[in-house]
Copies of this chain bind each other. A is one copy, B any other.
Amino acid sequence: MEYTQTQYYQFANPPHTRILESGGNLGPITIAYETYGTLNQKKDNAILIAHAFTGDAHAAGYREGDKSPGWWDAMIGPGKGFDTDKYFIVVSNVLGSCAGSTGPSSINPETGRPYGTSFPLVTIGDMVNMQKELVTSHLGIKRLLSVAGGSMGGMQVLEWMVSYPDMIRSAIPISTTIRHSPQQIAFNEVARQSVMNDLNWNMGDYYGKEKPARGLSVARMVGHITYMSDISMQKKFGRKASRVVTGEDPFRANFDVEGYLQYKGDSFVNRFDANSFLYLTKAMDLYDASRGQPLHEMLRGFSYKVMVIAFRSDWLYPPYQQMEIVRSCKMAGMETTYCEIDSTYGHDAFLLETERQSHLIHHFLDSVYLEEDGEST
């Protein structure tokens, strides 16, 4: 088996700092990324994949010692949806995260200590600007064959569509939205309050001390419910008795679903930084691809192809939100395909329904790749 390797690109060229959309200054900046497949000589076979909220650059294959592969391994590889026999795949960890790219848990060179909440506000636009710099300055790619991603990854796809329309030949937004609804904001706000109410959060200054583990665990439990569906929980748990013994108090877990959520919450704490959790949820909530205007007006005149994927049981990012993207693209005169997959997995479907997605994406990418590329020839 071939192991994948996470690489790190430091924005070394002057200026060493970058001005973010919030006006904040940040530097030096490191972006963690992985690549799969080979960049051809014309450099016209590159696809950027943007990860979701708590994802990372490790989308496919195994790293040494790993028991399970990257988060979209079933979609990326030879002959798969993102076919590495043909395409060069780039996946980078977003700015503000905690999996190799600069974020609130990184060391602030001015103080020698982690940024914590002195880290500037990060936006979806900032994440995409860093990806653009990685792809162009570092990898020397002028134009992407496609940009794809689900959930927060889909927001980054929309941002590419709006901000760098000449740099993409196609876009695949999945299970995402032009802007968060108040319900989506509300779930994130509850999760943030849970983290910040944990006394160990300490205004974000907990590095080297006890982490806000309890607050972050509850925050993740809330998220987990919204990632599944009523029916997928029914299938997975029903009202099966708990297999986990959690004490003899009257409020111990009686049902399997309770022990499962507690386990998921607790294990999340070991892999994700609480401050990154706050920064990234805020970035999603504040994002509006249309900047308060009708999106179709912003897209007018753009020539890339779009395929939007939705999942019927996703109630966190319901299909009507993806249909709104499709409507805007069509009104702007773009070639747009809408695929609604009849899955029961809820929002998690974009990670789990890999076979049906692979099929759709494989054909879509082929059709884009085989088409004459008017701009680069």
- A residues apposed to B, CB below 8 Å: 117, 121, 179-183, 185-187, 189-190, 192-194, 196-199, 203, 214-215, 217-218, 221-222, 224-225, 228, 230, 233-234, 236-239, 249-251, 253-258, 261-262, 265, 278-279, 282, 285-286, 288, 315, 318
- Name the distance in Å between A156's Cβ and chain B's nearest Cβ: 20
6 contacts between A and B (CB under 8 A): A182-B236, A186-B258, A189-B253, A192-B251, A194-B218, A251-B282
- Name the distance in Å between A170's Cβ and chain B's nearest Cβ: 29
* A183 vs B315: C-alpha distance when bound (angstroms): 13
Q: Are the C-beta atoms of A181 and B233 separated by less than 8 Å?
A: yes
- Residues of chain B within 8 A (CB-CB) of A218 are 190, 193-194, 197, 218
Q: Are the C-beta atoms of A285 and B190 separated by less than 8 Å?
A: no
A221-B190 in contact given A182-B233, A251-B278 (Cβ < 8 Å): yes
Q: Are the C-beta atoms of B257 and A203 separated by less than 8 Å?
A: no
Secondary structure dominating the interface of A: helix
- Residues of chain B within 8 A (CB-CB) of A121 are 250
- Name the distance in Å between A144's Cβ and chain B's nearest Cβ: 30
* A189 vs B318: C-alpha distance when bound (angstroms): 24
- Residues of chain B within 8 A (CB-CB) of A239 are 179-180, 182, 185, 288
* A286 vs B254: C-alpha distance when bound (angstroms): 8
- Residues of chain B within 8 A (CB-CB) of A181 are 230, 233-234
Closest to A250 in B: B121
- Name the distance in Å between A371's Cβ and chain B's nearest Cβ: 38
Q: Are the C-beta atoms of A230 and B183 separated by less than 8 Å?
A: yes
- Residues of chain B within 8 A (CB-CB) of A258 are 185-186, 189
Q: Which 8 pairs between the two chains have the least Cβ-Cβ distance?
A: A197-B214, A182-B233, A182-B257, A182-B237, A189-B258, A190-B221, A183-B230, A186-B225
* A237 vs B189: C-alpha distance when bound (angstroms): 14
Closest to A224 in B: B186
- Name the distance in Å between A216's Cβ and chain B's nearest Cβ: 10
- Residues of chain B within 8 A (CB-CB) of A255 are 182, 185, 189, 285
Q: Are the C-beta atoms of A261 and B215 separated by less than 8 Å?
A: no
Copies of this chain, how many? 2
In this complex, which of A238, A250, A254, A315 has the most chain B Cβ atoms within 10 angstroms of its Cβ?
A250
Closest to A265 in B: B193
A197-B225 in contact given A233-B181, A257-B186, A282-B251 (Cβ < 8 Å): no
Which of B187, B234, B288 has a CB less than 8 Å from the CB of A182? B234
In this complex, which of A181, A192, A217, A279 has the most chain B Cβ atoms within 10 angstroms of its Cβ?
A181
Q: Are the C-beta atoms of B179 and A193 separated by less than 8 Å?
A: no
* A121 vs B239: C-alpha distance when bound (angstroms): 19
Q: Are the C-beta atoms of B196 and A199 separated by less than 8 Å?
A: no
- Residues of chain B within 8 A (CB-CB) of A221 are 186, 189-190, 193
Q: Are the C-beta atoms of B196 and A197 separated by less than 8 Å?
A: no
* A251 vs B116: C-alpha distance when bound (angstroms): 12
Closest to A104 in B: B250
A222-B190 in contact given A182-B238, A182-B239, A183-B230 (Cβ < 8 Å): yes
- Name the distance in Å between A142's Cβ and chain B's nearest Cβ: 35
Closest to A198 in B: B197
* A248 vs B117: C-alpha distance when bound (angstroms): 11
A187-B117 in contact given A194-B194, A218-B194 (Cβ < 8 Å): no
- Residues of chain B within 8 A (CB-CB) of A225 are 183, 186-187, 190
* A237 vs B183: C-alpha distance when bound (angstroms): 9
In this complex, which of A186, A199, A253 has the most chain B Cβ atoms within 10 angstroms of its Cβ?
A186
* A42 vs B287: C-alpha distance when bound (angstroms): 65
- Name the distance in Å between A103's Cβ and chain B's nearest Cβ: 13
